[in-house]
C-alpha cells in the first residue's frame, strides 16, 4: 500500500506529537487530525525518560524553544523511597556508568557491599554517577566546566512537563498547515476486507485516508471498537489497576522543585511526585484488591499531609482506571494505534510518553523507508518491535516489586511472597540472548552467571537498591577458599571513589538550585 493521506483520530499529547512528527519529517504526506471537544485528556503523563531527547532532536527542538511554554523542569533521576525496604531510598540516574576508578566494573561495588555490609544500598548509584551528589543537594549545572565526571547535560537529562501544553505547543509550532477538525467521529466505515474506507463525522462530513492513526486514548475507538483487536492483559504480573491524581501548589520552590521523579511505596501501591515549574503533579497508583477508592484516598491524603496537612486537605483528587497490557497488533490493515489506545503500563518508570514517542519514531522510519510504500512485512516488523519493547518494560516494572523485601501490608506481602514472576520463561529457551530487562535474564544473572554489567540497563540500580547482589558472602568465602587469599582490589576503588567524591561535593556546593537554574534560563525575576 502507498500512503499519501493520513487521518489522526484524537488530539492530546499523542495526537499532536504524531501530527507534528509527520508534518516535520514527511511534509509530502497530507495529514488530517480530528479532535473531539467533548473528550478530556489525561494529564498524568508528565514525566519522561532520556529517550525523549531523540524525539526532540528529530523535530529540531532546543530546550529554550519549548520548556517555558510547557512549565517544564529537568529530570535527572528516578528516586525510589520505601520500595526495597521502609526507610530506604535509592536512585536510578540517567547516563552511562562511570567506571573510571574501577577494576571490575560494577562488580567492584557489589564486592565492597559483601565485604562491608554497613555500606548503604543507596550508595550504588552515587558510586557510579557524580550527578547523584548534585541531585541529592537539589542543584543543577550544564557541566560546561566538567565539574561532574561522566555527566552529559544534553544526554543525561529528561523532563517533567505539562503534557497537554506540550501538545498545544507542537500544534502551534508544526501543524498550522494541516487540516484540523474539531469534531466527533460518528461512524467508522470498513470494506469487506476489514480495511477502513472512511470516517463519518458529526459536522465535517466523510473523511477519507490511506492510513488511520488511533490516538483516542483508553477509548481506543479504532483498534478496540472497530478492528476488534484482542487485548493482552498484563494484570497477572502487574497488580495496580487504579490511580488517584491531583495538582498541588508549591510551598517552597527552592526545596520542592527537585530534578527527580520520586516514587514512594505506601500501603497498597506507590505515590508519584512530579515537580513542574508552576505546580506539583502527584498521584497514587494502587491495587483495588487491597484498597477501596475511599481507603486509597485516605492513604493518599495521609501521605501528602506529611509535607503539609493543609495542602493535603485542600487537594482536589480525581480517579482513573488502569488497563495494563497491549493489543496483539498495533498496526492492523490500514490502522495504527499510538499512545494509550495501543497499550499502557503503569507509570513507575515513566514509560507512557516514552512509548508514545518511540512508536512515532518507528512509524516515521516505516513510512520514510520506501517513500510511503508499506508492505505486510513492514506492519509485522512494526508490531513485533513495539510488542517486544512493551513486554520488556512489563518485566522491568515487575522487578521493582519482585525484588522488594517488604511484607508489612497485604499488598506488599502479595507482591513479594505470592505473585509468580517466572511466567513466560519457556518462550525464552530458544533465544540466545534474553531481553535485557526480562525476569529470566535477571534470574540467570543472580543465580548462574553472578555478574552484573553495564549492558543490563536499569536492572543493577533496582537490584542494588533493593539489596540484591549477584554475589553473596557464600560466593566470596568460596572464592577466598579456592584462591587461598582474599581478593581485595575493591579497596583501591573505594579509596579513589572517596577522593573523587570529596571534589564533587565541593563543586556541587557552588552550583545554583534547580529552581534558580531554571529561573535564570527562563529569564524570570
Instruction: Pick the catalytic residue from 2, 4, 68, 75.
Output: 75
Rounded CA separation 243/78 (Å): 19
N-to-C CA span, the chain: 55
**DSSP assignment of 229-274, as one string?**
--EEE-TTT----EEEEEEE--S-HHHH--SEEEEEEETTEEEEEE
- Is residue 75 part of the annotated active site? The answer reads yes
CA 20, 22, 24, 30 dihedral sign is: negative
Q: How far apart are CA 93 and CA 507, in angstroms?
A: 19
- Chain CA centroid to CA 471, Å: 29
Q: Which residues pair with 74 in a beta bridge?
A: 159
CA distances for 144 relative to 141, 150, 524, angstroms: 8, 12, 22
CA angle 269, 270, 274 (to 5 degrees): 155
Classify each residue of 127-140 as buried b or exposed e, where b means 16 or more C-beta atoms within 10 Å of its C-beta: bbbbbbbbbbebbb
In the numeric block, which cell numbers belong to residue 35?
479532535
Q: What is the strand order of the sheet 231-233 is part of?
A: 231-233, 325-327, 343-344
- The DSSP letter of residue 218 is G
Radius of gyration of the chain (CA): 24
* Beta bridge mates, 29: none
Structure-derived torsion over alpha carbons of residues 441, 446, 452, 454, reported in degrees to the nearest 10: 30
How is 11-50 classified by DSSP, letter by letter? Answer: -HHHHHHHHHHHHHH-TTSEEEEEE-TT----TT--B--T
Q: Is 525 helix (H, G, I), strand (E, B) or coil?
A: coil
Decide: 139 and 514 in contact? Cβ < 8 Å: yes
Catalytic residues: 75
Amino acid at each position: 500500500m502507498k500512503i499519501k493521506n493520513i487521518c489522526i483520530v484524537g488530539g492530546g499529547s499523542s495526537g499532536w506529537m504524531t501530527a507534528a512528527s509527520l508534518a516535520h519529517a514527511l511534509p509530502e504526506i497530507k495529514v488530517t487530525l480530528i479532535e473531539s471537544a467533548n473528550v478530556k485528556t489525561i494529564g498524568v503523563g508528565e514525566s519522561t525518560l532520556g529517550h525523549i531527547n531523540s524525539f526532540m532532536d528529530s523535530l529540531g527542538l532546543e530546550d529554550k524553544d519549548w520548556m517555558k511554554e510547557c512549565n517544564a523542569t529537568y529530570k535527572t533521576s528516578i528516586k525510589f523511597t520505601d520500595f526495597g525496604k521502609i526507610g530506604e531510598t535509592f536512585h536510578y540516574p540517567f547516563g552511562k556508568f562511570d567506571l573510571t576508578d574501577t577494576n571490575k566494573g560494577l562488580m567492584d561495588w557489589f564486592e565492597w557491599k559483601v565485604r562491608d555490609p554497613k555500606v548503604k544500598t543507596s550508595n550504588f548509584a552515587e558510586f557510579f554517577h557524580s550527578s547523584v551528589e548534585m541531585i541529592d543537594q537539589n542543584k543543577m549545572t550544564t557541566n560546561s566546566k566538567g565539574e561532574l565526571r561522566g555527566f552529559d547535560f544534553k544526554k543525561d537529562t529528561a523532563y517533567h512537563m505539562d503534557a497537554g501544553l506540550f501538545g498545544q505547543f507542537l500544534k502551534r509550532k508544526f501543524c498550522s498547515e494541516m487540516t484540523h477538525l474539531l469534531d466527533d467521529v460518528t461512524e467508522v466505515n470498513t470494506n469487506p476486507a476489514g480495511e477502513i474506507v472512511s470516517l463519518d463525522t458529526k459536522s465535517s462530513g466523510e473523511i477519507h485516508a490511506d492510513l488511520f492513526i488511533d490516538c483516542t486514548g483508553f477509548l481506543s475507538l479504532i483498534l478496540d471498537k472497530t478492528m476488534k483487536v484482542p487485548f493482552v492483559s498484563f494484570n497477572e504480573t502487574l497488580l495496580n489497576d487504579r490511580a488517584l491524581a491531583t495538582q498541588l501548589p508549591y510551598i517552597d520552590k527552592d526545596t520542592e522543585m527537585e530534578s527527580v521523579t520520586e516514587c514512594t511505596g505506601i500501603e497498597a501501591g506507590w505515590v508519584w511526585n512530579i515537580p513542574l515549574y508552576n505546580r506539583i503533579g502527584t498521584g497514587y497508583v494502587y491495587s483495588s484488591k487491597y484498597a477501596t477508592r475511599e481507603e486509597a484516598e485516605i492513604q493518599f491524603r495521609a501521605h501528602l499531609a506529611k509535607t503539609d496537612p493543609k495542602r493535603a486537605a485542600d487537594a482536589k483528587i480525581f480517579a482513573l482506571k488502569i488497563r495494563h497490557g497491549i493489543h496483539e497488533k498495533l498496526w492492523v490493515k490500514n490502522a495504527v494505534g499510538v499512545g494509550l489506545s495501543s497499550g499502557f503500563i503503569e507509570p513507575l518508570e515513566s514509560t507512557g510518553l516514552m512509548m508514545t514517542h518511540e512508536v512515532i519514531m518507528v512509524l516515521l522510519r516505516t513510512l520514510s523507508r520506501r517513500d510511503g510504500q508499506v508492505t505486510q512485512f513492514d506492519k509485522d516488523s512494526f508490531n513485533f518491535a513495539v510488542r517486544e519493547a512493551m513486554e520488556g518494560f512489563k518485566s522491568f516494572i515487575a522487578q521493582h516489586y519482585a525484588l522488594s523485601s517488604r511484607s508489612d501490608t497485604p499488598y506488599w506481602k502479595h507482591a513479594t511472597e505470592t505473585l509468580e514472576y517466572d511466567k513466560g520463561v519457556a518462550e525464552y529457551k530458544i533465544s540466545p540472548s534474553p531481553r535485557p530487562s526480562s525476569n529470566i535474564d535477571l534470574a540467570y544473572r543472580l543465580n548462574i552467571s553472578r555478574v552484573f554489567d553495564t549492558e543490563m540497563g536499569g536492572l543493577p540500580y533496582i537490584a542494588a537498591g533493593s539489596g540484591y547482589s549477584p554475589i553473596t558472602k557464600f560466593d566470596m568465602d568460596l572464592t577466598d577458599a579456592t584462591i587461598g587469599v582474599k581478593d581485595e582490589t575493591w579497596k583501591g576503588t573505594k579509596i579513589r571513589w572517596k577522593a573523587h567524591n570529596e571534589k564533587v561535593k565541593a563543586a556541587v556546593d557552588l552550583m545554583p538550585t534547580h529552581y534558580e537554574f531554571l529561573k535564570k534560563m527562563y529569564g524570570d525575576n
